[in-house]
């Protein structure tokens, strides 16, 4: 029986890495797919993996970077089939200036250059890659034209979706939710904040919930609530209690490589998403996905129409059902 080992280089500790959404989408969910398909599969943090060195036929290095444990692991599995997996373009110094952490002021250029070098030094030690978007694949093709790169997009786990429950909506108002994830998206929100405020003001039936430790350059108006970051397993309930979700994002080289998972998460529960027309979002072309550059007010006005909202919600839910983990893994399954 083929054994597949996922080794994550998440910056979270061995006790906390399972909370990292990237690890869930790129390691744990694929691992469950492989197990149901008859393979042995395991997920390990790189620090633990370097100590245990379990036997495996295929080793997937998730977001590899040149730590001491990476050197041990890359040498140990040199004769095995090794794949580097990326869901962000972390290794490409050409787009470093557009990194969200730099634009949001959560890191310095010096530190970011150092981190990018660590990712790149690991990147060049692979010739086979698994990535979440076409944008990342294009970046790899420009840096390593001879590499084998296949796209396995992030998919939705039925188990995660079921965490949303079946309880009816309990909010008196229509809740617009923004799940930022990290403070690195502060710059993204800042680009669109004034337009969103203008679009939602003087609407007594609306409430805007902003989750995450974002750095904002202005106080939020009445009807807006700032809330703490949300654990991944709690997202389904909060999305389900929302009317729509938003994902304000800047059109930058780094962001053009990001996935459209924000829409799929929202769409699971029939929630339309308003965001910007970046490549992975534009690829989906769905009535429940409202792509705009700045006119947030028109988008929200349109969704206020019950008939239009019902159509958008239904289309979103249908699309999400076509993007489960099992469907996304097809290309990699053929290669393994």
The pLDDT value recorded for residue 228 is: 92
Ordered per-residue pLDDT tens for the chain, 336 residues: 899 999 999 999 999 999 999 999 999 999 999 999 999 999 999 999 999 999 999 999 999 999 999 999 999 999 999 999 999 999 999 999 999 999 888 899 999 999 999 999 999 999 999 999 999 999 999 999 999 999 999 999 988 888 887 665 666 789 999 999 888 889 999 999 999 999 999 888 999 999 998 888 888 888 899 999 999 999 999 999 999 999 999 999 999 999 999 999 999 999 999 999 999 999 998 999 999 977 999 999 999 999 999 999 999 999 999 888 877 777 777 767
The pLDDT value recorded for residue 294 is: 77
Identify the structural domains of the chain with CATH numbers, from first to last.
3-151 (3.40.50), 159-321 (3.40.50.2000)
**Closest by Cα among 80, 91, 86 to 121:** 91
CA 196 vs. chain centroid, Å, equals 22
pLDDT one-digit tens code per residue, 109-154:
999 999 999 999 999 999 999 999 999 999 999 999 999 999 999 9
Greatest pairwise CA separation for the chain in angstroms: 64
User: Cβ of 189: how many Cβ atoms within 10 Å?
Assistant: 23
**Closest by Cα among 126, 152, 127, 162 to 30:** 152
Confirm if 272 and 288 have CB atoms less than 8 A apart.
Answer: yes
- Separation of alpha carbons 289 and 54, rounded Å: 43
pLDDT one-digit tens code per residue, 309-336:
999 999 999 999 988 887 777 777 776 7
- Separation of alpha carbons 262 and 102, rounded Å: 22
Residue in this structure with the two tokens 């654990």, named with its chain if needed:
231
């Amino acid at each position: 029986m083929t054994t597949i080992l996922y080794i994550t280089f998440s910056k979270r500790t061995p006790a906390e890495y399972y909370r990292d959404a990237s690890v869930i989408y790129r390691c744990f969910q694929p691992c469950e797919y492989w197990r149901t398909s008859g393979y042995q599969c395991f997920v390990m943090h790189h620090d633990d993996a370097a100590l245990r060195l379990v036997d495996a036929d295929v080793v997937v290095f998730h977001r590899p970077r040149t730590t001491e444990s990476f050197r041990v692991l890359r040498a140990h599995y040199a004769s095995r089939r090794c794949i580097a997996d990326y869901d962000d373009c972390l290794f490409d110094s050409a787009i470093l200036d557009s990194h969200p952490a730099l634009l949001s002021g959560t890191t310095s250029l010096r530190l970011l250059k150092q981190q990018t070098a660590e990712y790149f030094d690991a990147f060049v030690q692979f010739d086979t890659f698994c990535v979440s978007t076409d944008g990342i694949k294009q970046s790899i093709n420009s840096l390593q034209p001879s590499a084998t790169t296949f796209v396995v997009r992030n998919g939705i786990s039925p188990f995660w979706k079921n965490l949303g429950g079946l309880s009816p909506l309990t909010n008196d108002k229509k809740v617009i939710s923004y799940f930022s994830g990290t403070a690195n998206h502060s710059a993204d929100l800042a680009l669109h904040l004034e337009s969103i405020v203008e679009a939602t003001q003087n609407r007594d039936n609306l409430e805007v919930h902003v989750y995450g430790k974002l750095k904002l350059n202005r106080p939020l108006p009445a009807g807006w609530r700032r809330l703490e970051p949300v654990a991944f397993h709690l997202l389904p309930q909060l999305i389900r209690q929302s009317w729509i979700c938003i994902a304000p994002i800047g059109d930058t080289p780094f962001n053009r490589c990001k996935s459209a998972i924000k829409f799929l998460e929202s769409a699971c529960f029939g929630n339309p998403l308003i965001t910007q027309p970046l490549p992975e979002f534009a690829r989906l072309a769905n009535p429940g996905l409202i792509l705009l550059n700045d006119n947030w007010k028109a988008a929200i006005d349109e969704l206020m129409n019950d008939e239009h909202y019902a159509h958008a919600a239904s289309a979103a839910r249908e699309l999400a059902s076509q993007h489960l983990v099992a469907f996304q893994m097809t290309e990699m399954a053929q290669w393994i």
